[in-house]
């Protein structure tokens, strides 16, 4: 009797995110069976170095026993309860307290969601609610950047500035604006320094605010370092200048720390690395090392007071999710943060990040490499067909797709964003594993060079 394979069942029943559905019908999935440390293993037992921490998120790798034990303990004690209508439970309270204590600027309250997308969606609603509460009903527009990634719900996809997340979905909605991407390599004028580029971007932002009317702009949102847009490190002085513009016009500053938070940039938060003083912080991914779905947004006291007063006049704050502050997710996140502290993974990530960037910079003169960039334990190598013109090889994404495929053949999972190859290894990665990442990238780059020469 013929038994349908798991891969065939996947093709038959499963619609995948971020996947060409028609192509998936032909090629099927890479079936990942288990994980151990910084490695994952497919159904045939082949080992892969997970150079992306899954989705920028498995800070502690794929087999941390303390996280597993924390989940089990909480499942046996209180597997679920909600926090609607004055209900609470210990893990949520303790995690909220911990996050407020960790925040790099004074924050007042924590609101929990299940994902970064939901958290950014909630930010939009909270800011609208807050401006209604303070008698500014016209102050509702959000400004984001081209190439930004803030999620995929209707509101958060409107904040996102990547065409693949917007084409065909009728987003962005009205009232969501986008200004220039702070990528010096791609967008600086000839001879323009990083500081001059930052000046120009700040001037562009101010001009957009004035043209729209400052009384209509509620907030500016940005990732301290842009992740899915290509691991784009902002130019020197960028954030200081952007914040100064926002403060002049009573515009909130929102730091989307979903990728950057909890050590990824070599400091606890990207806001510290880039001198941001946000009114709102959005956290997820490394918050629980993705062992459980959870996200959190932190708001300052001014926002909280406006929201609290409005909820009092209405009789309730009419927003929340069944899984908000889920006890298992909050218990795992709390243990995750303890491990990051106990094992001193933030300074460790800074040291390993220096090793990663030094290794990748060894390819800076390669004919296919346009730029090597990064900060802390997150980096990218941007491939080009022509170093002088920075043009792609054929169409954009050809080199990236091919190299990512070859890396997988060589036992490393990475991610191509266009022609930028991203690296975001787990915070627990050691020197030998960073060196192995460099070695496997070198082999994939050699393969790509041969292919580009013949293709």
In the numeric block, which tokens belong to residue 270?
A: 């990207």
Q: Cβ atoms within 10 A of the Cβ of 331, count?
A: 27
* pLDDT score for 2: 54
User: CA distances (Å), 146 to each of 179, 187, 210, 447, in order?
Assistant: 6, 11, 19, 32
Domain final residue pick, 282, 316, 342: 342
Looking at the structure, tell me whether residues 167 and 74 fall in a common domain: yes
Question: 373, 379 in Cβ contact below 8 A?
Answer: yes
* pLDDT score for 1: 42
Domain final residue pick, 316, 342, 368: 342
pLDDT digits (tens, 9 = 90+) for 64-73: 999 999 999 9
pLDDT-based confidence at residue 263 (cuts at 50, 70, 90): very high
pLDDT digits (tens, 9 = 90+) for 207-242: 999 999 999 999 999 999 999 999 999 999 999 999
pTM of the model: 0.97
Beta strands in 196-331 (DSSP E): 217-222, 252-256, 280-283, 295-299
Looking at the structure, tell me whether residues 56 and 71 fall in a common domain: no
Q: Is 3 among the domain residues?
A: no
Instruction: Give the CATH number for residue 449.
Output: 3.90.1150.10
Looking at the structure, tell me whether residues 207 and 265 fall in a common domain: yes
pLDDT-based confidence at residue 4 (cuts at 50, 70, 90): confident
28: buried, middle or exposed (CB in 10 Å: 19+, 13-18, 0-12)? Answer: middle
Looking at the structure, tell me whether residues 136 and 244 fall in a common domain: yes
DSSP 88-103: --HHHHHHHHHHHHH-
Looking at the structure, tell me whether residues 367 and 397 fall in a common domain: yes
**Three-class secondary structure of residue 48 per DSSP:** strand
Question: Which residue(s) pair with 40 in the sheet?
Answer: 35, 48
Tell me the residue range of the domain where 53 lies: 31-63+344-454
Looking at the structure, tell me whether residues 370 and 388 fall in a common domain: yes
Looking at the structure, tell me whether residues 298 and 356 fall in a common domain: no
Rounded to an integer, the average pLDDT of 242-255 is 98
Domain final residue pick, 325, 342, 359: 342
Quick one: which H or E segment has residue 434?
helix 431-454
Residue 165 has pLDDT above 50, yes or no: yes
Residue 455 has pLDDT above 70, yes or no: no
- What is the average pLDDT value for the chain, to the nearest integer? 97
Number of domains in the chain: 2
Looking at the structure, tell me whether residues 412 and 376 fall in a common domain: yes
Nearest to 414 by CA among 441, 432, 434: 441
In the numeric block, which tokens belong to residue 286?
A: 């490394």
Rounded to an integer, the average pLDDT of 300-322 is 97
* pLDDT score for 3: 67
Q: Cβ atoms within 10 A of the Cβ of 44, count?
A: 7
pLDDT digits (tens, 9 = 90+) for 385-424: 999 999 999 999 999 999 999 999 999 999 999 999 999 9
Looking at the structure, tell me whether residues 316 and 384 fall in a common domain: no
Alpha helices in 257-344 (DSSP H): 270-273, 301-314, 327-342
Looking at the structure, tell me whether residues 417 and 316 fall in a common domain: no
pLDDT digits (tens, 9 = 90+) for 321-352: 999 999 999 999 999 999 999 999 999 999 99
Q: Is 356 among the domain residues?
A: yes
Q: Is 22 among the domain residues?
A: no
Instruction: Give the CATH number for residue 208.
Output: 3.40.640.10
* Distance in Å from the first CA to the final CA of the chain: 44
Q: Is 144 among the domain residues?
A: yes
């Amino acid at each position: 009797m013929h038994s349908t394979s798991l891969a065939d069942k996947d093709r038959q029943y499963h619609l995948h995110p971020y996947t060409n559905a028609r192509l998936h019908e032909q090629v099927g999935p890479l079936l990942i069976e288990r994980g151990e440390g910084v490695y994952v293993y497919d159904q045939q037992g082949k080992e892969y170095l997970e150079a992306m921490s899954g989705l920028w998120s498995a800070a502690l790798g794929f087999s941390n026993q303390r996280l597993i034990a924390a989940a089990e303990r909480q499942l046996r004690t209180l597997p679920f309860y909600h926090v609607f209508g004055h209900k609470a439970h210990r893990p949520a309270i303790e995690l909220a307290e911990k996050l407020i204590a960790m925040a790099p600027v004074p924050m007042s309250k924590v609101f929990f969601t299940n994902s970064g997308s939901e958290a950014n969606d909630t930010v939009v609603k909270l800011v609208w609610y807050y401006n209604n509460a303070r008698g500014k009903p016209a102050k509702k527009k959000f400004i984001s950047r081209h190439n930004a990634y803030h999620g995929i719900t209707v509101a958060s996809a409107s904040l996102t500035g990547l065409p693949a997340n917007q084409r065909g979905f009728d987003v962005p909605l009205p009232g969501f604006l986008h200004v220039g991407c702070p990528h010096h390599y791609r967008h600086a004028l000839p001879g323009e320094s990083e500081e001059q580029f930052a000046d120009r971007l700040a001037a562009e932002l101010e001009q957009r605010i004035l043209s729209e009317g400052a009384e209509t702009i509620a907030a500016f949102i940005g990732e301290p370092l842009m992740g899915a847009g290509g691991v784009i490190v902002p130019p020197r002085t960028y954030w200081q200048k952007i914040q100064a513009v926002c403060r002049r016009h009573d515009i909130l500053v929102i730091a989307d720390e979903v990728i950057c938070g909890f050590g990824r940039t070599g400091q606890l938060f990207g806001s510290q690395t880039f001198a941001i003083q946000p009114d709102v912080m959005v956290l997820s991914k490394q918050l629980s090392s993705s062992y459980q779905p959870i996200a959190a947004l932190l708001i300052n006291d001014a926002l909280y007071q406006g929201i609290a007063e409005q909820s009092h006049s209405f009789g309730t704050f009419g927003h929340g999710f069944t899984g908000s502050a889920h006890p298992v997710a909050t218990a795992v996140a709390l243990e995750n943060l303890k491990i990051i502290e106990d094992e001193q993974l933030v300074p460790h990530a800074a040291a390993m990040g220096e090793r990663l960037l030094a290794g990748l910079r060894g390819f800076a003169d390669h004919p296919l490499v346009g730029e090597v960039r990064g900060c802390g334990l997150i980096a990218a190598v941007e491939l080009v067909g022509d170093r002088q013109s920075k043009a792609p090889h054929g169409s954009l994404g050809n080199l990236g797709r091919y190299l990512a495929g070859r890396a997988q053949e060589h036992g490393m999972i990475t991610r191509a964003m266009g022609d930028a190859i991203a690296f975001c290894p787990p915070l627990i990665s050691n020197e030998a594993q960073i060196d192995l990442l460099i070695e496997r990238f070198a082999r994939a780059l050699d393969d790509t060079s041969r292919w580009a020469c013949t293709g």
